[in-house]
Structure 1
Amino acid sequence: MSDYILTFTKTRFYPLEPIKEDIKIEDIAHALSMMTRANGHFRHFYSVAQHSIGCCREALSRGYSKRVQLGCLLHDASESYISDLTRPVKRNLPEYFEIEDRLQKVIYERFGLGDISEAELLQIYSVDDSLLYYEFNELMDVQLFETRPYISEGQDFSQRTFASVEEEFLGLFGELTEQ
């Protein structure tokens, strides 16, 4: 096991052989607040963490359970350890999907969502797709889908500091997990 990354908390993390105890919310919040959505093609910096916060808040507005809200906050957490690829590239690298899925399952397990149901995952995917649509609409003036998806509240697509997004991410995590 020599293939590791060194995380923000100085943890040696093995993304291909993840150890649940090595997953730290501080690493996830920090890394995602520094990673851009849309591979950097939006008109200004908009982070994966800010997207995740928006998803979490949308789930709350829809009246979804705290589990689904937490799932929304963490749905892209694997990217903090393995980055992300654009959808056209990812579709052509099936091994990436396997790595991402295995890591995401360990992350969910680490934070009490190891038994997440298909119904809960469908709610998370629905929120994620809605945010995706409105992010592209707001930050690129492009409508990705023919039919405008449901969204229950206005979202914040403004450019924010890394630190403020990281702090909000950690705050929401603390509220949802009562830590």
Structure 2
Amino acid sequence: MQDYITTYTKKHFTIMEPEMADIDINDIAHALSLMTRANGHFSQFYSVGQHSVGCAYEALERGYSARVVLGCLLHDGSEAYMADITRPLKQHMSAYLVAEEKLQNMIFEKFLGQCPSEEEMAQIKSVDDAMLFHEFKCFMNEELDIPEHEILTRPAFSTKPFEDVEEDFLLMFHKISALL
């Protein structure tokens, strides 16, 4: 069995021993635009890519730095290579968590120059959790127990064609990267 996946851009990506040179924003944007949030349990398709773009817009609206906005866009980037696993299961998967952290940090280093600081990560997590709260409220009619869940934006919680999400993701990436 091979120890790599073949990405959208035809790279052979070894998940357990990733190489920074193999991380490609086009692979991340494409894969996340096709991955569903909530393990497919929402009432309609809503992608990780659309969530990530929504997080970036929320960070912009909050007046966060370009690094935090880009961090919000990329915060689920490792899922493009490893897949999304629901939070209740992921917390019990120590090897997965180590590999995910290594890969996610590598993605941050490649595109942000270094990993976000503790303060920047707190801002990214705040945006991510707030969006999660509103996604569950919209798609599942369920209010999660998340303390700070207010959002300033009005995201379109509806199915968007993956091509549009991929394009939105890449446009946001290039727009914010130019500010760093």
For the residues of structure 2 that align with 1:156 and 1:105, how far apart are their CA atoms?
Answer: 29
**2:94 is matched with which residue?**
94
After superposition, what is the alpha-carbon deviation per residue over 1:99-133, rounded to whole angstroms, capped at 9, x for unaligned?
A: 10000011111112424200000000000000000
After superposition, what is the alpha-carbon deviation per residue over 1:75-121, rounded to whole angstroms, capped at 9, x for unaligned?
A: 00000000021112111111111010000011111112424200000
Structure 1 residue ranges, 4+ long, deviating more than 4 angstroms after superposition: none
CA contact (8 A) 1:133 1:148 kept: no
**2:126 is matched with which residue?**
126
CA contact (8 A) 1:135 1:157 kept: yes
For the residues of structure 1 that align with 2:134 and 2:105, how far apart are their CA atoms?
Answer: 27
CA contact (8 A) 1:31 1:80 kept: yes
Amino acid at match of 1:31: A
For the residues of structure 2 that align with 1:99 and 1:144, how far apart are their CA atoms?
Answer: 27
Q: Mark the CA change 1:139 to 1:11 in structure 2 (over 3 Å): closer, same or farther.
A: same
Q: Mark the CA change 1:10 to 1:92 in structure 2 (over 3 Å): closer, same or farther.
A: same
**1:104 is matched with which residue?**
104
Any idea what SS the aligned residue of 2:63 has? coil
TM-score by length of 1: 0.96
For the residues of structure 2 that align with 1:125 and 1:5, how far apart are their CA atoms?
Answer: 28
Structure 2 stretches lacking a partner, 5+ long: none
Structure 1 stretches lacking a partner, 5+ long: none
The number of equivalent residue pairs is: 178
Amino acid at match of 2:36: T
Moved more, 104-113 or 39-48: 104-113
Any idea what SS the aligned residue of 1:116 has? coil
For the residues of structure 1 that align with 2:112 and 2:151, how far apart are their CA atoms?
Answer: 27
For the residues of structure 1 that align with 2:115 and 2:77, how far apart are their CA atoms?
Answer: 17
TM-score by length of 2: 0.95
Is the counterpart of residue 25 in structure 1 residue 32 in structure 2? no
Aligned counterparts, 1:22-171, within 5 A: 22-145=22-145, 147=147, 149-171=149-171
Q: What is the CA-CA distance between 1:159 and the residue it aligns to? A: 0.8
RMSD of equivalent CA atoms: 1.3
